[in-house]
Amino acid sequence: MRFVAVGLVSGTAGVLFGYSVAVVAGALVFLTDLFALDTLGSEVVVTSVLVGAFIGAMTSGELAARWGERRVMMITCVIFVLAPIGLAMAGSATEVSLWRGILGLAVGTVSMVAPMYVAEASPAARRGALVSLFQFGVTLGILIAYLINFAFTDSGEWRWMFALGCLPGFVLFGALWTLPESPRWLLLKGRNAEARSAMIRLHADPEEIEAAETVPVEQNGRWGELFMAPVGLVLVMAGGLFLFQNLSGIDGILYYAPQIFLSVGVSAQTGAILATIGLGAVNMLATVGAMFVVDRLGRRPLLISGLAVMTASLGVLGVLLLNPSVSQGEELITLVCLALFVLAFAFSMGPLPYVLTSEVFPLRVRARGMSLATATSWLLNIVVAMTFLSLLKFAGTGATFLVYAGVCLAGLIFSWFMVPETRGRSLAQIEANLRAGRPVRRLGDI
């Protein structure tokens, strides 16, 4: 039972993330008609939550370092409840964008703080699965958003699409209420007795408790340390993973899935949303599979094989869609390629950047390092959301997907040379290896 509340924090934070960013996919059709949005206006409505998320991710590291991860997440729960209600009452595109920006502050905060808290509150043997629950929650939130979109498509009740997003905020607050503060944050503050009590309460692993207490901790980690050896290479690795995660094209596909399906021949808005629900289901089920194997097979094998499949599926898709007229058989291949891409992403680049980033930074700068890495993720997310429709319009669907295939190939090469295997290693062991000056690729070595 002691893992249930930690897992609930991880999963519910992910649901709030996924639902908040994806629900606009179905609402956008009605917002476009109601507020006469052009392409730029649509991209602004979609991107506003991402701008807020970038600000939230960038500032949450400092807040978590000062106040504690649990307390910061409890504050974000208030935003998660109030912002969807504000969206449901919005009377203009400007108000929608403003409330989505406010909601984004909470989304960006939990995208950084939740994986870090869960990693620090989990034993080494279950850390990968429990942190991966965050990405599972993201995919579940996306799928729920698509189902809610479909439920209200006929009635056009976009306000309910947004309003229902407040419900998981209550669940997250309740789960956090039952848990202690992060034991490693307590260690960082010199509150060793409380930290030991929290560790025993969370996972009762005497060896890991002893290892954590022996790691030398200085209280005043500085931003500048992130850019100096040996931590600088860790930052490059973490930032690179989030860079390739977002530039792989997954965000554009998930945000604009109905428009993509319509462009490749799926008839009617309802059919496009149903196809989008299918993609969301593939995304979620594959993430469940990743949770079960990430602590058995390891991080590197999943990451590298997943990127290889992502590259191949987008390459085939891009070549196929260079032809403006898609036949019925080619339409089926298109759907299969999109499903394969999403499946491979869910096994690899979906959960693993969060897992690895929560593991590799040393404790004294972990909050700031994760903050900078996830802020990079949101900044790139903004770029994709603001350019995806314009890129499709300018370059065509085929060329767009070929560009993303090239990004996935670059991510594969980067991961081969830069990403360590951390399976089964305690956070204290990984930090000790970093202090010993091991190359990034060998941080997980004993």
pLDDT, average across residues 206-222:
56
Distance CA 102, CA 49 (A): 7
Query: How far is CA 412 from each of CA 6, 339, 439, rounded to the nearest angstrom?
Result: 32, 19, 19
pLDDT, tens digit, 9 for 90 and up, residues 159-211: 999 999 999 999 999 999 999 998 888 887 888 888 888 887 876 555 555 55
C-beta separation of 142 from 23 below 8 A: no
pLDDT of 207 reads 55
Distance CA 381, CA 389 (A): 14
Q: Which residues of 160-194 are buried (b: 16+ CB within 10 A; e: fewer)?
A: ebbbbbbebbebbbebbeebbbbbbbbbbbeeeeb
Is residue 218's pLDDT more than 70?
Answer: no
Please tell me whether residue 422 adopts helix, strand or coil conformation. Answer: coil
pLDDT, average across residues 228-246:
86
pLDDT, average across residues 20-24:
87
Q: What are the boundaries of each domain within the chain?
A: 2-442
Residue holding tokens 């974000």?
76
For residue 212, what are its two tokens?
């954590």
Residue holding tokens 């996935």?
408
pLDDT of 212 reads 56
pLDDT of 20 reads 92
Distance CA 296, CA 423 (A): 8
pLDDT, tens digit, 9 for 90 and up, residues 270-303: 556 666 677 778 878 888 887 788 778 888 899 9
pLDDT, average across residues 105-133:
85
Going by pLDDT thresholds of 50, 70 and 90, the confidence category of residue 100 is: very high
Q: Which of 84-88, 96-100, 342-346, 428-432 has the lowest mean pLDDT?
A: 428-432
What's 248's DSSP letter? T
pLDDT of 271 reads 58
Query: How far is CA 34 from each of CA 92, 163, 205, 385, rounded to the nearest angstrom?
Result: 9, 18, 57, 21
pLDDT, tens digit, 9 for 90 and up, residues 139-160: 889 889 988 988 888 888 899 9
Distance CA 295, CA 205 (A): 17
* Model pTM above 0.85: no
pLDDT of 172 reads 95
Q: Which amino acid would we find at residue 120?
A: E
pLDDT of 213 reads 55
pLDDT of 210 reads 55
Is residue 219's pLDDT more than 70?
Answer: no
For residue 412, what are its two tokens?
């594969």
Query: How far is CA 18 from each of CA 50, 145, 352, 391, 434, rounded to the nearest angstrom?
Result: 12, 8, 16, 24, 33
Report the chain's mean pLDDT, rounded to a whole number: 83
Residue 269 or 75, more confident: 75
Contacts of 122 by beta carbon, 8 Å cutoff, 6+ apart: 3, 6, 130, 131, 202, 203
Is residue 214's pLDDT more than 80?
Answer: no
CATH T-level fold of 2-442 = Growth Hormone; Chain: A; (1.20.1250)
C-beta separation of 10 from 130 below 8 A: yes
pLDDT, tens digit, 9 for 90 and up, residues 315-363: 998 888 787 665 666 667 877 888 899 889 988 998 888 888 888 888 7
Contacts of 211 by beta carbon, 8 Å cutoff, 6+ apart: 426, 428, 429
Residue 340 CB coordination number (10 Å): 18
Sign, CA torsion 375/378/382/384: positive
Measured between its terminal Cα atoms, the distance across the chain in Å is 31
Residue 135 or 216, more confident: 135
Q: Is 394 exposed, middle or buried (0-12, 13-18, 19+ CB in 10 A)?
A: exposed
pLDDT of 229 reads 76
Q: Which amino acid would we find at residue 137?
A: G
Residue holding tokens 């935003």?
79
